Amino acid sequence: MKNLFLTLSILITALMLSCSKSNKGNDTDPEDPAGAPSKTWQEHWGHHDLLMKRVYYDDHVAVYYDDNVDRSVTWLFKAMSDSWAYVKQTYGDFGPDKRLFANFHISRKVFNPATQMEEDQLGGGHPASYFDADHDFRNVIDNGLGNWTYPTGEQIGIPIHEMGHIVCGASHGAKGSPSDVLWGDSKFMEIFNYDVLLHIGREDEAARAYIQCMATKDDFPTPGSQWFKNWFFPIYSKYGKAAVLNRYFELLSKHFPKNGNTYIRNLNYGEFVHFWSGAAGVNLKEQATIAFGWPEGWESMFKKAQQDFPNLTYPR
């Protein structure tokens, strides 16, 4: 009987040791293949100082969450990958790394002694491109909201919007966005988001964006300007859709003045209409007049742009 108990004791001990070793192995993260994006990324820009954790990657994106983002939110993986794949297909590559690094935060409010107010330090979004040392020379979108639960509205719109800024500021090997002074933060992104949503299978969100943007009015360059309705959508729908958007940036990179690969100045409205006319292959002065009027001074700027950049061809 003693021998039986001794044998059982040895077997149980061996089984427990085996289970312990097995569980320890399951807790060890598998090694990444060569070329995989880092599993963590320490932020070091602005108010961003968090250690981000990689939650997904493929050939197009690396997605990172801070510790407060719900790990059950996975719709972002495919949405970001499909969006960036389409951006590269449409506007070309953006540097040697084919991936977009997409950071997602839950916004947080922090008391600022200087203003004596609470400020949201992680909300909204910002981009960086492979030209930017402060983001480790990566193409980056950094986004913060109260939650990322649903693939609708600003939850899908903000990250795509930030991709649009990378297109504006780093496409075709050129650094800078000389058009921003004219269209501000969001005007190009309205047509950009609409187009991307259409091409990632989100026709529902594209339709919502279309309705919203068609009703949007701005006070620049003239009061009541409707950029989407009277400028971008007519050009997009008549002259090649995404191809005409890309041609605009391609023409800028080829013809607008740069120092090395960096634009040295901003466009004026005459140059803006001229370059878009070159992209569309038609004279867009009439469309610009519908969209913005034709303020005093634009005619001389437009004619000078035609003289300064004669290689942009369209019927004059």
User: Per-residue confidence at 29, pLDDT binned at 50, 70, 90?
Assistant: low
Residue 243 has phi, psi (to 5 degrees) of -65, -40
DSSP summary character for residue 107? -
CA dihedral 82, 83, 84, 87 (to 10 degrees): 120
Query: pTM value?
Result: 0.89
Q: What is the pLDDT of residue 30?
A: 77
Q: Estimate to the nearest angstrom the gap between the alpha carbon of 89 and the chain centroid.
A: 14
Q: Summarize pLDDT for 139-164 with one digit per residue, the tens.
A: 999 999 999 999 999 999 999 999 99
Residue 150 corresponds to which tokens in the numbers above?
């649903």
Secondary structure of residue 109 in the 3-state scheme: strand
Dihedral sign computed on CA atoms, order 125, 70, 76, 134 = positive
Residue 130 corresponds to which tokens in the numbers above?
């492979």
Angle in degrees, 0-180, between the axes of helices 75-91 and 187-199, rounded to the nearest 10 = 110
> What share of the chain has pLDDT > 90, as a percent?
83
Burial class (CB in 10 A: 0-12, 13-18, 19+), 25: exposed
Contact 36/74 with Cβ under 8 angstroms? no
Q: What is the pLDDT of residue 47?
A: 82
Q: How far apart are CA 20 and CA 23, in angstroms?
A: 5
Q: Which CATH code of 3.40.30, 2.60.40, 4.10.320, 2.60.120 fits the domain covering 36-173?
A: 3.40.30
Q: Of 152, 156, 158, 150, which Cα lies nearest the Cα of 122?
A: 158
The alpha carbons of the chain give a radius of gyration, in whole angstroms, of 26
Looking at the predicted structure, is the pLDDT value of residue 15 above 50? no
Q: Of 213, 209, 212, which Cα lies nearest the Cα of 232?
A: 213
